[in-house]
């Protein structure tokens, strides 16, 4: 049961990480958040170029394989739908193009924010 709960927590963390990558420029007021956000994008691009899986995915798969589904309730309403969002069934090319687009959009957003702040003072 513990492995199943931990796997569900990992899926939620994975979802929050994806939301942070998509919307991180909005929250990127401090330098630390900007560095983590842009580093996360570059890491995502490297993962996709080499065809690797995210470490969170590996951890979740390991936790689920360590869990014995015969002992507990196998369904989880919220996690079922969160997994549908996290693990979209799209081609690798589509995901790569979307990642590049998001990276360029966030870089543009940061650039505009920096320009706006420099004109403000």
Percent of the chain with pLDDT over 90: 1
Lowest mean pLDDT among 51-65, 71-85, 89-103, 104-118: 71-85
Domain boundaries, given as residue ranges, for the chain: 2-120
More confident residue, 71 or 30: 30
> Tokens standing for 14?
């994975």
* Gap between the Cα atoms of 37 and 27, Å rounded: 9
Residue 58 phi, psi dihedral angles, 5° rounding = -60, -45
pLDDT value for 72: 43
Q: Which residue has the higher pLDDT, 113 or 58?
A: 58
Rounded Cα–Cα distance for residues 114 and 95 (Å): 28
**Confidence band (pLDDT; 50, 70, 90) for 117?**
low
């Amino acid at each position: 049961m513990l492995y199943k709960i931990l796997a569900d927590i990992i899926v939620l963390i994975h979802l929050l990480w994806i939301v942070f990558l998509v919307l991180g420029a909005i929250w990127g007021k401090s330098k630390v958040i900007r560095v983590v956000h842009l580093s996360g994008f570059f890491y995502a691009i490297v993962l996709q170029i080499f065809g690797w899986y995210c470490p969170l995915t590996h951890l979740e798969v390991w936790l689920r394989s360590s869990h014995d589904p015969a002992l507990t309730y196998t369904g989880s309403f919220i996690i079922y739908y969160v997994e549908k969002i996290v693990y979209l069934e799209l081609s690798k090319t589509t995901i790569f193009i979307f990642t590049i687009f998001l990276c360029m959009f966030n870089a543009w957003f940061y650039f505009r924010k920096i320009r706006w702040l420099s004109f403000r003072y």
